[in-house]
Amino acid sequence: MGEAGTVHGILVGTVVGGAAGLGAGAAARRLLAVLRRGARVRAPVCELAVGALWAATGCLWGAGQLPSAWLPAMLGLAWLGVAAGVVDVRHRRLPNALTAPAACLAPFGLLPLGAGAVGRGLLGALVAVVGYALVHVLRPAALGPGDVKLAASLGAVLGAASWAALATAAVLAAVLTGGVGLVMACAGRAPPGGGVPHGPSMLTAAWLVTLVAVAGGQ
């Protein structure tokens, strides 16, 4: 692909991804409003967040840095990150209505990558759930049951990328949560309940680590 073609691909990917993300973000906001354990979110918070993530994903795809087969998983992970992250930040919970469908749909998002990736994803989901469940049992205050359920979908995507990605994301999530807690403590703004929600860090780490792991694979 020549330079002109690359620029065109970047523009198309960014614009189409961003526009589709705005619509997906609006759908997420409306869904959260009707879920029994969702959240009321003002427009255009979800729209802009999903739009930005989908635009970035489309930009990398248009530049030839993100394989097309990874688009369903990356776009779905970005959408889940915003929808579930907003609820966890505001209400310190991760709704089953989001985590359960995400766990079921994640393997289907890996189908374009082939049977091998799906197999690694299923095993990655199992490893992630067992690991997070163990931490939850040993330190319930550090990880809630919602985090354990969320680990299934995130572990599937990360496992399909690589085993190193699965481990890296877990470490990065812990660092992010610890960093946020430290900043809030230094600012004298301790969160309600004395802890920082871990779900947003898990979601952020999973998206970033997966993107880095698969970028340039096309």
- The string of pLDDT tens digits covering residues 6-60 is 899 999 999 999 999 999 999 999 999 999 989 999 999 999 999 999 999 999 9
Does residue 21 contact residue 44 with C-beta atoms inside 8 Å?
A: no
Report DSSP state, residue 141: T
In this prediction, residue 171 carries a pLDDT of 97
Q: The tokens of 135 are what?
A: 């931490």
What pLDDT score does 101 carry? 97
Q: Tell me what pLDDT residue 1 has.
A: 52
pLDDT tens for each residue of 21-36 = 999 999 999 999 999 9
Q: Over range 206-210, report the average pLDDT.
A: 98
pLDDT at residue 4, as a whole number: 73
Average pLDDT, the chain: 94
Q: Provide the pLDDT for residue 173.
A: 97
Task: Answer whether 0.85 is exceeded by the pTM.
Answer: yes
pLDDT for 93? 93
Q: ω before 192 within 30° of 0 (cis)?
A: no
Work out the number of other CB atoms within 10 angstroms of the CB of residue 139. 9
Q: CA 95, CA 88: separation in Å to the nearest integer?
A: 9
What's the rounded Cα separation, in Å, for the pair 92 and 147? Answer: 11
Domain that holds residue 62: 3-214
| Contact by Cβ (8 Å): 151, 132 | yes
The pLDDT assigned to 181 comes to 87
Tens digits of residue pLDDT in 132-152: 999 999 998 889 999 999 999
pLDDT at 191 over 80: no
> What is the count of structural domains for the chain?
1
